[in-house]
Structure 1
Amino acid sequence: MANLVEAISPQQFEELLQKAGKSLVVVHFLAPWAPQCTQMNDVMAELAKENAQVMFVKLEAEAVPEVSEKYEISSVPTFLFFKNNQKVDRLDGAHAPELTKKVQRLSSTAVPMGMGMAAKEDLNERLKKLVNAAPCMLFMKGSPQEPRCGFSRQIVELFKQHSIQYSSFDILSDEEVRQGLKTFSNWPTYPQVYVNGELVGGLDIVKELAESGELEHTCPKAVTLENRLKSLISKKNVMLFMKGNKEMAKCGFSRQILEMLNSTGVEYDTFDILQDEEVRQGLKTFSNWPTYPQLYVKGELIGGHDIVKELKESGDLEAVLKGEN
């Protein structure tokens, strides 16, 4: 990449500054052993793609001590910003959003007006909807089932280990979103995690949250199957778990139990166990009732087809459905 280079001597460094003239030069003082520097190198590479008018320079701090001492570099990563061969700003630490902001501000890139501005506003509205599409949104390369980069694979695994409930968006499937979200979030790399519409960060931030025990408090926990089943059976006062639904039963027992329920005039809701294998298998264990249909009233199991038939014949079905018995 022409605007992303490495300086290995004081002479080369000075030549790069002089050659850049009025253009912005961003210098990354790094150490190859520091993982934060590796992360910020990736950020720089993305910024270089987006800012062709800016020169990005990597400089190993310990390998060029003369330059490091001159500019008082005491830790890595550190970023210095130059214009006209003069230092104009500084950033200490691995802060991708702040680095992006400084590059945008100091490079003075003009925003197109007219149609371009309208298009940008439309994209921003779309991005707002996407980041708020679920309480926890992961923008990644690929899908949770098939991640298409190592960082995305690692963050999916972390979410799985910590039982995080999330939705995802494949940024490889939409170039407009892929490029637009970098500016929208001031975070130039992927994956990106949002909680309640607010950017949390990328893989390194999620790792830190996981190690500190804060990830479960930052991101919503996935609902366990038991809690999900409890919620489903209590969704309405009368819930029927069957094969099919009210409009189309898909087995004889389900059809017959629908007819019996309809004859009472009591309101009820149904859940099609053929559409959800997890519920289909889990409810058998949860209720200790191995067959379908299953009828629940106020969260309590009444039974299956034979029990409902007995209640119907005894004249007790309507009272049971109303919770009177």
Structure 2
Amino acid sequence: MAALREISRISDFQNLLDESGSHLVVVHFSAVWAPQCQQMNDVLTELAKDSQYVNVRFVKVEAEELPELSEKYEIAAVPTFIFLKSKTKIDRLDGANAAELTKKVQILSSPTANVPVPATEQQQSKDDLNVRLKKLINSAPVMLFMKGKPEEPRCGFSRQIVQLLNENNIKFSSFDILQDNDVRQGLKTYSNWPTYPQVYCNGELLGGLDILKELAESGELKSQFPKQEELEDRLKSLTTRSPIMLFMKGDPNTPRCGFSKQVTQLLNDTGIKYDTFDILQDEEVRQGLKKFSNWPTYPQLYVNGELIGGLDILKELKESGELEAMLKDGQ
């Protein structure tokens, strides 16, 4: 049975590649301080136990401890996964996406891994990504796609645009494109705008830093944004955006805390569709919803705009057999 192996020296990494030959090597560039990396290590550990991947080598590397290796594979953020065959990189995955990681391991470990994906499948993948991008862009009246988070920008341009929006009291939500390479690359094509950050208002691209600076200098900046919605109105809108709304840390594919992970498992077991909101991407919603609902913790589940509760209550409903019926009534 294969296992997740930790590499701490360049020489050990080179030896591993020599030993692996043409077999797939999956390298996870991680960091001990990033909880999403530990979650993805758990995913790799489970994949390594699967007998169909007996010839796949699963490797964990501390990105900051082996900077030469991180530089070689252009690691800008963690978690990042590099896929190698015969010492050659054949693919990569940026960000914590368990479903996509599993899919890539399955495809790339097969003998036909180097065969191009059929055009029909490529088109389906592109269509799915465009649907996701549209949903992200419209998830808030003002959406900022940036490197890092507002409180921790990862580039100077992102830092400046956050400062500009805050100075003009413009409320916004954000998405860290360093955590999702599909979004990072796909949005450039979708919006026909090659750089980041990007700001969207009511689903339409406004532009990047230079355009916002020009608008600020001309006094037109605030007029380009929608009238700021009161927080309570926005929270009402979010809690009723879908019949079943889950406010959680992360998303169903990559929960960012154990409680969120357990709740998504409970909901997934019912087979009933639900929508989610990542409260880690919006501090205003994260803090405001606690007061709005008079419920101090996350996750929080709403059905038809009414708070049901968190993990403990959902567990009780599951044990009593009421959870699935309640969710079906909410559809």
Which category of TM-score, normalised to the shorter sequence, fits these structures?
A: 0.3 to 0.5
Q: Give the greater-gyration-radius structure (CA).
A: 1
TM-score between both structures, scaled by the size of structure 1: 0.39
TM-score between both structures, scaled by the size of structure 2: 0.39
